[in-house]
Amino acid sequence: MPAETIGRTELTDVRYEHGGDDHVFVELAEEMSFDANFRAMAITQQIRERNLDGINEICPANASYLIQFDPETLHPDALIEELRELEESVELTDYRWDTRVIEIPVLYEDPWTEEALMDFRERHQDPDSTDLEYSARINGYESVEAFIEAHSGQPHMVTMMGFVPGLPFAFQMVPRDRQIEVPKYVAPRTHTPSRAIGYGGAFTAIYPVPGAGGYQLFGRTPVEVLDVEQELPGFEESLVFLDPGDIIKFRQIDREEYDAIRERVEAGTYEYTYEQTEFVPGEFFERPYEYNRELVEALE
């Protein structure tokens, strides 16, 4: 019987580490969990609100966070002391945040990522399968179609931004026994098409620009997640479209729709389908499937 709630994780072994003289890295847990991620987001939001002098960068990550600062203004030990206090005071049950539910259309098994993955077959665990066939099999799905259904059926939360500007790491909002987990390539590819949908560990990534990459390739989206010139609708305030805490719903599309959306993106007329909402961790933990349905229904 698969779990119907999100298992809670107690974070008992938080590590405070110095990154040279000007960074502090806090690893909330070695393993990924919503608890670790939500705490990383809650704590970093609190640090932002405290507006401490000397802090230059506040970066929440999947199960950790990173701070860069001027040690002349803020001694690393004083910072760590402040962070320890915050860690004790943050209660996730009191916590909620404004977010967006965003539809990202995906052409799964698209010709561009298929060409890329065939070019680098010798770097893959299973050179005789496609990335989707391999991922479906090792996760116990009877077909690629059923696997795609699982990946696109429930939403994913952006738990970290990084690697390159605009790239989201997204963690599917389902109990752990329903999470998809795949290895990265044995050796990274030197080429990945832009807008590829990849999967590594327990995370979906969307590659903003072409480049190297080690994630299993599932498909390609016609929409952009990075617009350096900030000319497209949706990029008025930032050159990246997504933020940590955003909720992504992948929607399967066919080639015809892909081309039609791509045409609108290139013409600068594509408007993202999204809704503002408030995310309440407590409710999500208790009844994830029902909660997800409500979130996604807002898009319709």
Q: Would you tell me which residues interact with other proteins (CB under 8 A)?
A: 15, 17-23, 25, 27, 29-33, 44, 56-66, 68, 71-72, 76, 160-167, 169, 171, 176, 179, 181, 183-184, 200-203, 208-209, 211, 226, 228, 238-240, 243-244
CB of 201 or CB of 257, closer to other proteins: 201
Q: In angstroms, what is the minimal distance from the CB of 256 to other proteins?
A: 30
Q: Are 284 and 157 in contact (CB under 8 A)?
A: no
Smallest distance from the beta carbon of 265 to other proteins, in angstroms? 17
Q: Which is nearer to other proteins, 64 or 130 (CB)?
A: 64
Q: Which is nearer to other proteins, 94 or 229 (CB)?
A: 229
**Pairwise CA distance, residues 196 & 174, whole Å:** 23
User: Helix, strand, or coil here: 250?
Assistant: strand
Nearer to other proteins (CB atom), residue 33 or residue 221: 33
Q: How far is the CB of 162 from other proteins (least distance, A)?
A: 4
**Cβ contact 281:92 at 8 Å:** yes
Q: Residue 165 class from Cβ within 10 Å (0-12 exposed, 13-18 middle, 19+ buried)?
A: middle
- Segment (H or E) for 16: strand 15-19
| Residue with smaller CB distance to other proteins, 81 or 263 | 81
Q: Rounded to the nearest whole angstrom, what is the least distance from the CB of residue 50 to other proteins in the complex?
A: 16
Please, where are the H alpha helices in the chain? 34-50, 76-89, 111-119, 131-138, 144-153, 255-267, 281-286, 288-297
Question: C-beta of 236: minimal distance to other proteins in Å?
Answer: 15
Euclidean distance between the first and the last CA atom of the chain, given in angstroms as a whole number: 30
CB of 18 to other proteins, least distance (A): 5
Instruction: Please give the helix or strand (H or E) that residue 104 lies within, else none.
Output: strand 97-108
Residues 112 and 209: their CA atoms lie apart, in Å, by: 14
Closer Cβ to other proteins, 11 or 280, answer by number: 11
